[in-house]
Structure 1
């Protein structure tokens, strides 16, 4: 279990500024409305089930100890340093034309960039059918497309989410699990990624769903 309370914290602008002072300036910046997270480990989706309610929060580990935040209180920054080009390998065609610019938050940690994770660590075994939940990317709103993918041992992609071929898309998460992947944006600008969690209760067969939450990313050119 994490050492921090598992309830969602509503972070005011003043509170965000106090938290930001505990970490390097490049990692967090408090704005008037949202805390900007720009570097370090953050579970951008943290699925929990409490008092019969499935919820999605953001687990921020850029501070020590880590804290739970409301998605609406956070802005994820994709820095200029994340910009690269689409590989020539046709397997990466979902990112765009070879040589075109693409901004990638990588699967393996780069300490200068945001390292986004997907967490179901706090979910208990036996509660949901198959000990699994489904993360649904309901819609991606922005100037370009979002692709989320992992790479195998020889560098070939396994595509999880591709807003370029339509949404919703889904990712299966195992109870007690933690997933990192590459998050790729093909245009600079601001994106809203609408997600929700869905599961089936093992005891009753009842389908439960979280509210749809908005994950906001700003991609710097």
Structure 2
């Protein structure tokens, strides 16, 4: 337990230092570590001109939209589960284990999702946005994935850094969804997402790449 605690403290300290330096020169940001409860990791809004990508923290009295650079998402040791690592599940895990934030709520863990419900009808062409997993940096041998499970118990991969990035996913407006977020090894992951769309007048709009930090506890 002491080793696990020290590992977490070290990882959080490193991630915190990175986060505090992530803003503009001379500007320090208060970094918040989220450990449990409902969090829409990819919360997309459109204000009529700009597409905005935030982290929606739904753990207080009212939801709070946070800049991704101001957030560390902790994946606890309790999220470590055995995985087969073979067949359709070969993408998930390292050494027979993976850390998974489940698509259903589990006490003591983040319930991670995404949200496009604040985008007005017909504000964007085809009423959709495109999620782009731009890059993932993590521990050696540590892949990142987001996936669902079909009625036969087989995975439906939405994002998988193990077979290369970028990955793309079209998401309709007015979507609020939860899937499984998988991490192959303990450590700190830097995950970059970008959301793009076309406005109703056919011009392109983008959030730009945003950096999300996950700390996976051994």
Scaled by the length of structure 1, the TM-score of the pair is 0.81
From 96, 118, 121, give the equivalent of 2:117. 121
Q: SS at the partner of 2:197?
A: strand
Aligned length: 189
* Residue aligning to 1:155: 153
Q: SS at the partner of 1:95?
A: coil
* Residue aligning to 1:209: 206
Q: SS at the partner of 1:46?
A: strand
Cα deviation per residue 1:90-133 (whole Å; 9 max; x = unaligned)? 11111146x61100001111122111111101011111121110
* Residue aligning to 1:71: 68
Cα deviation per residue 1:136-162 (whole Å; 9 max; x = unaligned)? 010011111101101123322110001
Say whether the 8 Å CA contact 2:85–2:91 is kept in structure 1: no
For residues 210 and 49 of structure 2, the distance between their equivalents in structure 1, rounded to whole angstroms, comes to 18
* Residue aligning to 2:144: 146
From 132, 144, 157, give the equivalent of 1:136. 132
Runs of 4+ residues deviating >6 angstroms: none
Describe the shift of the 1:94–1:88 C-alpha distance in structure 2 as closer, same or farther (beyond 3 A).
closer
* Residue aligning to 2:42: 45
Alpha-carbon offset, residue 51 of structure 1? 4.3
Cα deviation per residue 1:186-215 (whole Å; 9 max; x = unaligned)? 01100011011100112x211111121111
For residues 86 and 106 of structure 2, the distance between their equivalents in structure 1, rounded to whole angstroms, comes to 23
Q: Does 1:187 align with 2:182?
A: no
Report the aligned-residue RMSD.
1.7
For residues 216 and 151 of structure 2, the distance between their equivalents in structure 1, rounded to whole angstroms, comes to 28
From 28, 32, 35, give the equivalent of 2:32. 35
Scaled by the length of structure 2, the TM-score of the pair is 0.82
From 47, 59, 84, give the equivalent of 2:56. 59
For residues 49 and 88 of structure 1, the distance between their equivalents in structure 2, rounded to whole angstroms, comes to 39
The unaligned stretches of length 5 or more in structure 1 are 1-31
